[in-house]
């Protein structure tokens, strides 16, 4: 192979090799897709003289790095427990990508800059030290890390600002790739805006795919429904094969979970402290140790998680009078949902994506006739679009901001009737296993969504009047889940009939 090289060529080659630092070799390995220098090491539990057997390998991290550098996937959610090495992986990927490809532009984003500085930056410093990276500058005024080859990693805050609801501020930069840490804290809109900013800066020069890396602990939010749930029922990968309506390829998505027990580098104290924190508190244990996405650690959640899990199996719930409740939507992301009830048993759930008002009227009339429900037992969400149906459908119309029902069995001081109904639904019905959603035609997705919506009944302090009970506002629920709680609205409206049993129904709401 060295034929044709004269002595001076060989000498200069030798000189080049001599001048290579261990870091240069790591950078070249990274470029070639060999991550041994990151994922191999000595396990933390080895003490003093280490033996061959102490060498260890973080297989999940290696998989994650492969996905981060392949030409297949575009959006990658990694995580689903604490201590699996999410942050370390993100820092290694960005640092080595920036060093391996001159003049590239990367970001790491979080809800708040102070969290980036307090946690991600600390891990960057650890990674720099561990891998002997000294040649970088951190600009603390403008919050970016710069390397001598001209590459940059920007630290960006993506907090929701009412003055910029569409996150247009994020829209003007061009990046090679980026990472969103604790993505569940971030508005879905911000994530989609960031997704449009990557793949735009020297990607074709180096053959780098558009790559959005996301990390988070398990939580009930849009990331769960968009990645975890779809990963579990495999639809994530079926969706990847479908084309967009405009005939273009979809962003190729993938989810990979990683538990603390899969991280061979974890310090024993970390496991011990996580374990002692988690052992007192089941949801924390389930979420952070076992990576269970179906546990909410919010102590203010009004429905007990176990009871939420029961709503499709409460066969003991007896049938009673028939009611219909309906949440109206004509277009956009909201659903049009009708529940038909016999007592607290849901016998029929009708869901439509997009509807026209004639369709709504005919659906309602059809179900009203089929189940023989009188107009006094039909409740329609009367806010917004629902109001248009007044005069077209004989029914009651629910006003979310309406006054609480005073004569009902449940008379504490609530901000409005909607909050009152949600409290009653959670405490009296769900937590006593008194609701059975018995429609066998519900899909797995719909069931998951119903459960996620029930977990969003969350107590919050009322800012105007501390004496009043309040629940998490719908806008916040929408932004956390990524969709409107349309099923929950139908369940909430059913409560009204229980509360107002003693009232003259026609007087209060019509």
Ligand X SMILES: Nc1ncnc2c1ncn2[C@@H]1O[C@H](COP(=O)(O)OP(=O)(O)O)[C@@H](O)[C@H]1O
The contact set with Mg ion (CB under 5 A) reads: 86-87
* Residue 86 within binding range of ligand X, rule CB under 6 A: yes
Which residue is it, tokens 């492969």? 66
Determine the length of the chain: 510
The least distance separating ligand X from the CB of residue 193, rounded to whole angstroms, comes to 24
Cβ-contact 293, 80 below 8 angstroms: yes
Closest to ligand X by CB, 182 or 296: 182
Binding residue for ligand X, selected from 60, 65, 80, 87, defined by CB under 6 A: 87
* Residues 385 and 329: beta-carbon distance below 8 Å: yes
For the CA atoms of 374, 379, 383, 385, what is the dihedral angle to 10 degrees?
-60
Q: Which does 419 bind (CB under 5 to 8 A by kind): Mg ion, ligand X, none?
A: none
Residue 115 exposure: Cα atoms within 13 Å on the Cβ side: 16
Q: What tokens appear for 64 in the block?
A: 């994650």
Stretch of residues binding ligand X (CB under 6 A), selected from 86-94, 104-112, 195-203, 307-315: 86-94
Kindly give the pairing relationship between strand 152-157 and strand 144-146: antiparallel
454 is an interface residue for ligand X by CB under 6 A: no
Residue 438 binds what, of Mg ion, ligand X, none (CB under 5 to 8 Å, by partner type)? none
Going from the C-alpha of 199 to that of each of 31, 65, 97, 464, the distances in angstroms are 18, 18, 13, 46
In whole angstroms, give the CA distance from residue 479 to residue 189. 9
With vertex at residue 470, the alpha carbon angle to CA 465 and CA 476, rounded to the nearest 5 degrees, is 115
Q: Show the site string, 59-78: x = touches ligand X by CB under 6 A, - = not.
A: --x-----------------
Long-range contacts, 140-143 (Cβ 8 Å, 24+) = 143/113, 143/116, 143/117
Question: Which residues on neighbouring strands pair with residue 338, listed in sequence order?
Answer: 326, 350
Shortest distance (Å) from residue 62 CB to ligand X:
9
263 contacts which partner out of Mg ion, ligand X, none, CB within 5 to 8 A by kind? ligand X
When the beta carbons of 39 and 100 are compared against ligand X, the nearer one is: 39
- Maximum C-alpha span of the chain: 105
**224 is written with which tokens?**
């769960």
> What distances in angstroms separate CA 165 from CA 182, 186, 190, one per listed residue?
20, 13, 9
Task: Identify the residue among 65, 85, 340, 405 touching ligand X (CB under 6 A).
Answer: 85
Interface residue with ligand X among 23, 29, 37, 41 (CB under 6 A) is 41
Q: Which is nearer to ligand X, 128 or 265 (by Cβ)?
A: 265
CB of 445 to Mg ion, least distance (A): 30
How far apart are the C-alpha atoms of 426 and 458, rounded to whole Å?
Answer: 10
Contacts of 308 (CB under 8 A, 6+ apart): 430, 451, 454, 455
Closest distance between ligand X and the C-beta of residue 14, in Å? 32
The residue whose two tokens read 């429904």 is 225
Residue 82 is a binding residue for ligand X (CB under 6 A): yes
Of the candidates 27, 30, 39, 373, which one interacts with ligand X according to CB under 6 A?
Answer: 39
Binding to ligand X, residues 254-313 (CB under 6 A): 263, 265-266
Nearest approach, Cβ of 320 to ligand X (angstroms)? Answer: 49
Quote the least distance from Cβ 85 to Mg ion, whole Å. Answer: 8
CB of 446 to Mg ion, least distance (A): 33
Residue 263 beta carbon to ligand X: minimum distance, rounded to whole angstroms: 5
- Kindly tell me which of 41 and 251 has the beta carbon lying closer to ligand X: 41
What's the closest the beta carbon of residue 215 comes to Mg ion, in angstroms? 7
Using rule CB under 6 A, residue 83 touches ligand X: yes
Can you give the binding site for ligand X, defined by CB under 6 A? 38-39, 41, 58, 61, 82-88, 123, 263, 265-266
């Amino acid at each position: 192979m060295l034929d044709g090289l004269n002595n001076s060529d060989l000498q200069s080659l030798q000189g080049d090799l001599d001048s290579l630092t261990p870091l240069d070799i790591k950078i070249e390995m990274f470029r070639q897709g060999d991550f041994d220098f990151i994922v191999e090491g000595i396990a933390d539990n080895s003490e003093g003289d280490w033996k061959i057997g102490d060498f260890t390998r973080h297989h999940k991290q290696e998989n994650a790095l492969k996905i981060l550098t392949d030409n297949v996937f575009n959006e990658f959610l990694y995580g689903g427990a604490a201590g699996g090495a999410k942050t370390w992986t993100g820092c290694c990927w960005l640092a080595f990508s920036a060093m391996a490809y001159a003049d590239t532009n990367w970001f790491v984003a979080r809800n708040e800059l102070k969290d980036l500085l307090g946690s991600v930056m600390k891990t960057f410093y650890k990674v720099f030290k561990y891998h002997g990276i000294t040649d970088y500058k951190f600009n603390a005024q403008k919050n970016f890390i710069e390397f001598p080859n001209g590459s940059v990693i920007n630290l960006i805050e993506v907090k929701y600002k009412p003055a910029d609801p569409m996150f247009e501020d994020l829209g003007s930069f061009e990046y090679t790739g980026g990472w969103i840490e604790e993505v569940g804290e971030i508005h879905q809109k911000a994530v989609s805006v960031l997704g449009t900013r990557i793949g735009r800066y020297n990607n074709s020069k180096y053959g780098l795919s558009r790559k959005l890396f996301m990390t988070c602990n398990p939580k009930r939010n849009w990331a769960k429904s968009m990645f975890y749930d779809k990963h579990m029922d495999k639809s994530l990968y079926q969706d990847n094969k479908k084309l967009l309506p405009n005939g273009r390829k979809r962003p190729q998505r993938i989810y990979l979970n990683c538990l603390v027990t899969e991280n061979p580098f974890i310090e024993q104290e970390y496991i011990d402290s996580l374990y002692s924190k988690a052992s007192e508190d089941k949801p924390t244990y389930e979420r952070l140790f076992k990576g269970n996405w179906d546990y909410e650690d919010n102590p203010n959640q009004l429905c007990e998680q176990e009871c939420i899990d029961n709503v499709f199996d409460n066969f003991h719930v007896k049938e009673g009078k028939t009611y219909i409740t309906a949440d109206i939507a004509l277009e956009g992301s909201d659903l049009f949902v009708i529940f038909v009830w016999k007592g607290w048993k849901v016998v029929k759930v009708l869901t439509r994506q997009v509807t026209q008002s004639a369709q709504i009227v005919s659906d309602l009339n059809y179900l009203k006739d089929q189940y023989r429900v009188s107009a006094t037992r039909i409740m329609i969400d009367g806010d917004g679009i629902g109001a248009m149906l007044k005069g077209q459908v004989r029914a009651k119309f629910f006003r979310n901001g309406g006054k609480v029902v005073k004569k009902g069995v449940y008379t504490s001081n609530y901000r409005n009737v909607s909050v009152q109904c949600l409290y009653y639904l959670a405490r009296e019905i769900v937590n006593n296993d008194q609701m059975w959603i018995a429609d066998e035609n519900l899909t797995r997705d719909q069931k998951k969504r119903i459960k996620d919506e029930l977990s969003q009944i969350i107590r919050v302090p009322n800012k105007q009047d501390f004496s009043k009970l309040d629940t998490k506002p719908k806008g916040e629920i929408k932004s956390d889940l990524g969709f409107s709680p349309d099923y929950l609205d139908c369940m909430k409206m059913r409560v009204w009939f229980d509360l107002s049993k003693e009232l003259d129904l026609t007087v209060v709401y019509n």
